[in-house]
Amino acid sequence: MARAGLEGSPGSPRGAVHEETRSKGSGLALQQKEERPPSPVIEVDNLEEFVLHPAPQGVTIKCRVTRDKKGMDRGLYPTYYLHLDNDKKVFLLAGRKRKKSKTSNYLISIDPTDLSRGGENFIGKLRSNLMGTKFTVFDNGANPDRANADWSNVRQELSAVVYETNVLGFKGPRKMTVIIPGMNSDNERVPIRPRNDNDGLLMRWQNKNMDNVIELHNKAPVWNDETQSYVLNFHGRVTHASVKNFQIVHGSDPDYIVMQFGRVADDAFTMDYNYPLCALQAFAIALSSFDGKLACE
């Protein structure tokens, strides 16, 4: 089984990850992409419930992310939209970076036109550290400082993303770690409601306190001498080379793709996720990859 990397545009960044295609026989100019069967029909009755609920086991939820740069300041603050990648193209989520925020702070909404913090459509947010290398994903619960006595309304941490800094400036593929809450015996997410930043997913991971916490990593792409590029097999779901292309796996089963994300046009990307992720977790992880992490590039 011969393999070849998909060429990116000339001058594509050295860290870009290319789609890998497969062909039978040798010397074939036409390469057959190995497609996975389409997802079963996904019904979205209650949007808020759907985007917060883990994907059903055995079902890949295939989505599309589009980036809208139109408008006065959209170049700096584009809006990102998530839709199901099927015939109906059902809208799921929208996200945009907040202005005048000391760190990168993305608001995520279940309404494509209402991206306000105080609106009833606010569903979660993605917040980075000052360096832009570590991100935390929250749902729309209350800040623990303002929770009073009712702890059940305090916001949950849904995910954390850590990008390894490229101190030496080597332009290789990005390395990312994704930390998510564990699942209980009913295949439901274990609620993690930190009282402060010292009790969150990032600190638990740094302190190796992994009770009810799952650690995931991006799958390392393979260098292909023939195409002089890093390649990963996205099964036909990615068509453009990009440093943003990635697949997330668990160390114990690198063949089970928990999530994959990749470019298909200048401002369009495919995003597919599986159990135990929900749409909000996957979308926020994807948003983190758009952020300008100077320390990582």
Query: What pLDDT is stored for residue 38 in this prediction?
Result: 54
The Cα-based distances of 43 to 8, 39, 47, 49, 88 in angstroms read 36, 12, 10, 12, 10
Query: What pLDDT is stored for residue 66 in this prediction?
Result: 95
Query: What pLDDT is stored for residue 36 in this prediction?
Result: 53
CA angle 34, 37, 38 (to 5 degrees): 125
**Helix (H/G/I), strand (E/B), else coil: 52:** helix
Query: What pLDDT is stored for residue 29 in this prediction?
Result: 28
Whole-angstrom distance, CA of residue 228 vs CA of residue 36? 27
**Helix (H/G/I), strand (E/B), else coil: 206:** helix
- Residue 270's contacts (CB-CB under 8 Å, 6 or more residues apart) are 62, 63, 64, 65, 85, 237, 238, 260, 261, 262, 264
Query: What pLDDT is stored for residue 268 in this prediction?
Result: 95
Query: What pLDDT is stored for residue 230 in this prediction?
Result: 84
Whole-angstrom distance, CA of residue 47 vs CA of residue 234? 28
Residue where the block lists tokens 């930043």: 197
Structure tokens at 282: 């996957």
Question: Where do runs of H (alpha helix) occur along 10-152?
Answer: 47-52
Which pTM was predicted?
0.86
In the sheet where 229-232 sits, what is the strand order? 2-5, 17-23, 229-232, 222-224
Query: What pLDDT is stored for residue 156 in this prediction?
Result: 95
Distance of alpha carbon 148 from the chain centroid: 33
Whole-angstrom distance, CA of residue 64 vs CA of residue 265? 11
The partner residues of 230 in beta bridges, in order of sequence, read: 17, 223
The b/e string for 134-167 (b: 16+ C-beta within 10 A; e otherwise) is bbbbbbbbeebeebeeeeeebbbbbbbbbbeebe
- Residue 17's contacts (CB-CB under 8 Å, 6 or more residues apart) are 173, 221, 230, 231, 232, 241, 242, 243, 245, 246, 262
Q: Could you state, in order of their start, the residue ranges of all structural domains in the chain?
A: 2-33+52-296
- Residue 161's contacts (CB-CB under 8 Å, 6 or more residues apart) are 134, 135, 137, 176, 177, 178, 179, 285, 288
Domain 2-33+52-296: assigned CATH number: 3.20.90.10
Whole-angstrom distance, CA of residue 244 vs CA of residue 289? 6
Mean pLDDT by 10 residues, the chain (297 residues): 32 66 32 49 85 95 92 71 92 89 87 83 93 92 77 90 75 86 94 88 95 95 85 91 91 94 94 97 95 58
Query: Beta 134-139 vs 259-265: how paired, if at all?
Result: unpaired
Distance of alpha carbon 103 from the chain centroid: 19
**Helix (H/G/I), strand (E/B), else coil: 279:** helix
